[in-house]
Structure 1
């Protein structure tokens, strides 16, 4: 998709205040020649003041999966990474950053796959998470079954 079309689609969703702001931008710039990066820069300057952008950038830099589900982590990763494009400027860097902050048990299992496409890294992490949940559920069932059998035997 070309930059001009991206800008048209983005500005179509603007509400009252943003429409007024956009009108002033169209008076100052040749919109047909504007790049998507310039549009984002202008938009962020208007609606995400520098201290807010710095805070979001810091949140991205310190983001780790921790106790979050992979989907929660990925949502935050995607949201915060908009404010640090230099850290995820290409697919390989994006994968490396995402994987480096995954849960320590999951990280090597994704890293050893040699994945270079972000969506594939996320997919692999989701599969590993589902497998771990399934394993935990089976372990819990086995434990409950064992406890039920030992309590039904009772004292001899």
Structure 2
């Protein structure tokens, strides 16, 4: 067949990935496989989301164009994920997928809505409990993306964070609510540090007191024996 100008019509070929882009991709391989996460869907979803974030970051860092993103990303799929892709791509025939289409398919397969909903409720119910402030902050950061409406402003994010620490840390805030998230986190760290130092001092004093009382008791016991009296109770 020919086009309107009489030139032979050729079948569109997929864009060729430039050598320099391939070289950068091989230097920073970020493979994804779902097989190691069979113990739990939630763990696999977190791994899938982290992989997608890393891939997008890598694409931006090497200046990868949209035409090449799908090919470079699917090259890094392994195991079950690679077999999923070989099946999923057949739905599109010879037409290449856009990056947005690939992301949507990937999210449906590895980031199902019910797991995201579960993570949302985990964030809503998140409290410090027995965790340190650092551990609480890390979990807060990891789960916040599942409930963006709760942290859509700096004030909302700070307010949600300040509701989670243990009672002793919250009481130390004195009812003053920070409007900035970074300030709220810093205050929690400071309160935890001060309280840990106070506990360490009290424990040191208690230990020193016990040692002194023990020596005093031994001395009194010796005096009692030497005088023919019963040892004094300490």
TM range (shorter): 0.7 to 0.9
Whole-angstrom CA distance in 1 between matches of 2:121 and 2:187: 26
Does 2:72 correspond to 1:9? no
The reply to whether residue 100 of structure 1 matches residue 163 of structure 2 is yes
- How far apart are residue 60 of structure 1 and its match? 0.5
- Would the aligned equivalents of 1:64 and 1:102 in 2 still touch at CA under 8 Å? yes
Output the TM-score relative to the length of structure 1. Answer: 0.74
Q: Which has the higher contact order (CA 8 A, sep 6+)?
A: 1
Match of 2:123 among 60, 71, 90: 60
Whether 1:51 aligns to 2:106 is no
Q: Give the aligned partner of residue 138 of structure 1.
A: 201
1:70-85, aligned counterparts within 5 Å? 70-85=133-148
TM-score by length of 2: 0.51
Q: State which structure, 1 or 2, has the greater radius of gyration over its C-alpha atoms.
A: 2
Structure 1 residues 97 and 45, CA, compared in 2 at 3 Å: closer, same or farther?
farther
Q: Distance in 1 between matches of 2:100 and 2:148?
A: 28
User: 1:69 corresponds to which residue?
Assistant: 132
**What is the match of residue 97 of structure 2?**
24
Aligned counterpart, 1:35: none
Q: CA deviation at 1:47?
A: 3.6
Distance 1:90 1:43, change over 3 A: farther
Q: CA deviation at 1:111?
A: 5.8
Q: Deviations over 1:32-90 (max 9, x none)?
A: xxxxxxx8x88755542111101111111111111110011111111111100011100
Paired positions, count = 140
CA change 1:27–1:142 in 2 (3 A) is: closer
Whether contact under 8 Å (1:110, 1:121) holds in the other structure is: no
Gaps of at least 5 residues in structure 2 are 1-54, 62-72, 89-95, 224-234
Cα distance per residue 1:78-113 (max 9 Å; x no partner): 111110001110010001001011111111333644
- 2: CA distance between counterparts of 1:128 and 1:63? 19
Report the 3-state secondary structure (helix = DSSP H, G, I; strand = E; otherwise coil) of the residue aligned with 2:207.
Answer: helix
Query: CA distance change for structure 1 residues 111 and 25 in 2, over 3 Å: closer, same or farther?
Result: farther
